[in-house]
Structure 1
Amino acid sequence: MIGWEIAGGVVLTVWLWLLTCHGRFWSTGQRLPGSTEPRDWPSVAVVIPARREADVLPRTLPTVLAQHYPAHARVILVDDDSDDGTGELAESLAREAGAGLPLTVTSPGSPPPGWTGKTWALAHGVVEAGQVDRVLFTDADIAHAPDSLTELVRACESGYDLVSQMAVLRTGTRWERLIVPAFVYFFAMLFPFRRVNRPSSRTAAAAGGCVLLRRATLARAGGLSAVRGALIDDVALARLVKRAGGRVWLGLAGKVRSARSYPRLRDLWQMISRSAYTQLRHSPTLLVGTVLGLALMFLGPPAVTIAGLTGGGPAALLLGTAAWAVMAGTFAPMLRYYGHPGAAAFLLPATAVLYVLMTLDSARRQRYGHGTSWKGRNYPASRSAD
């Protein structure tokens, strides 16, 4: 009985600390800064890396071409060795759109050794862009509201070198509703947005679907060649910019949305497990620590609560219930951001179990040499960080 009371005290303390001392990671209030019109609007190149994206381009590319921007802007779609007609479809969509931002479709060929396909495509797009002031990296599955580019530039001009928005992901299916809000929640727990946005903090991150940055800052930081092998390229890019003295801002989007669907658990599983172990730097020590930490934080509250109900004593029941309530309370804002009822936050332990299994599967694939696979391109398994 005393053991469960101690466990309850530990998990409640952990959650109270996370609630009050971890950068308000649970808050969904970080939205684009800046409301003053720039004196001189900078020129912008929108770079879209695209590999086998013919299925989503009709829902996304027209929204990029239709941007209302008060200065020079162009769109560069980098066809990354697609075999589904991605490049040809993009050119057709641009012809159908008629007036709008001009589109250039280019292809750099296969990435050289040491580069990932996406970083190679982005680097090629930057070279193609020429001497522009700002570069917007946006994924092929991302749709933008007509004034999205203008608002992103306005935010960047308010004093930032890199501005990134976490696109609103689809939650149309049962599995998406269960897993996607938690995906963003866990990302914010790992990289609290307020800490990312604080110049004095070493925490740096970005959301790769929508990243606007100053071209001069990128060049000063070493260019994309400095992160050429990064599988989690967005976080690596933000760290690069921050280490070079640049200011980084990351927040949630309202006008930037992903059109990509993950209808099956298998689809979401592959999306998350593809990079989960990479995020842990392929370290068995970090893997064990992460699994134990997730078990303590997310399974501890319901375990103590159930123990309190089945003989662990009223103190254990009270502590477990309180910890579970605090945990759910931190998740509820993200659920409301996605338009879901806050009461579903009490199901977070079940979702956490899935994330633990996905992370373990990611480590298993690396351990047995499967590496990382993305749209037919394989990256070899990395060595352990230990």
Structure 2
Amino acid sequence: MTLAWLTLLPVLLLTAHTAVNALLLRRPDRDATVDERVAVLLPLRNEAERVTPCLRSLLDQRGVPGLTVHVLDDGSTDGTAEVVRAVAGDRVRLHAGVAPPAGWLGKPHACHQLAGWAGDADVLVFVDADVVLEPDAVAGAVRLLRRGGVVLLSPYPKIVGAGRLVQPLLQWSWLTFLPLRGMERSARPSLAAAGGQWLVLDRAGYRKAGGHAAVRDEILEDIALARAVKRSGGRIALADGSRLATCRMYDSWAELADGYAKSMWASFGSAPGAAAVVVLLLLLYVVPLLTAAAVPAFAPIAVAAYLLGVTGRAISARATGGRVLPDALAHPVSVVLFGHLIARSFRMRRLRRLTWRGRALP
């Protein structure tokens, strides 16, 4: 029974930490107005089928009189540039990107080019093609950037589409394991998190950190950029952007699995580190429920551990615009699927089968 209680205590503490972080989570204001020059930067590669809602949402932005939108067509072969012209006309500045040189990955190079075209903007807002912003999203995020006194703000959008069991683990993981205010105050680059779907940066701080040139070969360029900002003396912050943005990352399980395979291996530093994380998650959130039937004396504590895990997942969903029920009840299943995706990512990397948007990844 002592071992059983030792299993329950960490889950209790982690769930309490999730609740505290949810209360402290920053959120952009609605109906904000800012008078700074803001450049919205949209990198595109073969996004003809999904870019239209994103473009229309960018054209509908309000509260930022000094707003310009720059779009980069990164060698698309599906007519992406034609879609941009048809939807936006001359209301955006469409640029033709060049292929990444040796040592660069595609997205960092695309973002690097866009930042160079941002003119005299004070703030850079990077947005992915699968993000749709509310009309006051950019103004609210820029105001929060300034109010927080940070160089990089990552307002995490509401995730929709395929992967309801797995995708919410992204928000749950940093709400559960990352001390948000400690991360903001700490100068340690290792204590950093960010989501590249929507990033807001002070341009001067971005340049001081080296911009995307400093993360040119990084699969997870968003987290690497946050670390570069910290190394340069800047501060970063996460925020709940679910009221102001949605992101449809994947439309099928196959797309999700390929997307996770591309980058999941880079999240842990090494295979042993990834294995340690997966084993810990299984011990905390899966094993107790599995052993409840086999060891009747353990059942009450096992059920309590399961319910605490469900509670933490529900708190995370409520705080970030996710679906609470029945998804939270399947939290152990989510953890198992997450472990499978991590193992698949390392296996595909070992076999040199990682690709993204038609480009092979090193």
**Structure 2-normalised TM-score?**
0.91
Question: Given the alignment of the two structures, is residue 129 of structure 1 paired with residue 129 of structure 2, yes or no?
Answer: no
The alignment-based identity, stated in percent, is 28
Q: CA deviation at 1:201?
A: 6.2
Give yes or no for the alignment of 1:13 onto 2:9.
yes
Secondary structure in structure 2 of the residue aligned to 1:169: strand
Q: Give the equivalent residue in structure 2 for 1:360.
A: 343
Q: 1:86 to 1:279 in 2, by over 3 A?
A: same
Residue 231, structure 1, aligned to residue 236, structure 2: no
Q: 1:7–1:304: 8 Å Cα contact kept in structure 2?
A: no
* Bigger Rg over Cα: 1
Decide which of 144, 150, 163 is 2:153's aligned counterpart: 163
Does 2:103 align with 1:114? yes
- Report the equivalent of 1:91: 85
Q: Could you tell me how far apart the structure 2 residues matched to 1:178 and 1:192 are?
A: 24
Which of residues 137, 143, 161 in structure 2 aligns to 1:154? 143
Quickly say closer, same or farther: Cα 1:138–1:191, change in 2 above 3 A: farther
Match of 2:40 in 1: 46
Match of 1:205 in 2: 193
Write the distance in 1 (CA, Å) between the matches of 2:7 and 2:256: 29
SS in 1 for 2:207: helix
In the superposition, relative to structure 1, how do residues 266 and 93 fare at CA in structure 2: closer, same or farther (>3 Å)?
same
State the Cα RMSD in Å: 2.4
Match of 1:350 among 323, 333, 344: 333
Q: Write the distance in 1 (CA, Å) between the matches of 2:248 and 2:274.
A: 32
Q: For residues 242 and 339 of structure 1, do their structure 2 counterparts lie closer, same or farther at Cα, with a shift above 3 Å needed? A: closer
The offset of 1:259, in angstroms, is: 3.8
Name the TM-score, length of structure 1 as normaliser.
0.85
Residues 97-135 of structure 1, C-alpha deviation per residue, up to 9 Å, x if partnerless?
x8xxx3111122110111111110000001111221111
Count matched residues. 358
1:137–1:190 Cα change, 3 Å: farther
Q: After TM superposition, give the deviation of residue 332 of structure 1 in Å.
A: 0.8
Per-residue deviation, residues 17-51 of structure 1 (Å, max 9, x unmatched):
323457945x276232579978x721111110111
Q: Would the aligned equivalents of 2:39 and 2:68 in 1 still touch at CA under 8 Å?
A: yes
Query: Could you say which residue in structure 2 is the equivalent of 1:383?
Result: none
Aligned twin of 1:71: 65
| 1: CA distance, partners of 2:233 / 2:29 | 20
**SS of structure 2 residue aligned to 1:59:** helix
Other structure's SS at 2:286 match:
helix
Unaligned runs of 5+ in 2: none
Equivalent AA in structure 1 for residue 73 of structure 2: D
CA gap 1:37/1:338 in 2 versus in 1, 3 angstroms: closer
254, 260, 267: which is aligned to 1:266? 254
C-alpha displacement of 1:346? 2.6
Aligned partner letter, 1:31: R
Aligned match for 2:313, one of 317, 323, 331? 331
Distance in 2, matches of 1:341 and 1:36, equals 27
Cα distance in 1 for partners of 2:55, 2:84 equals 7
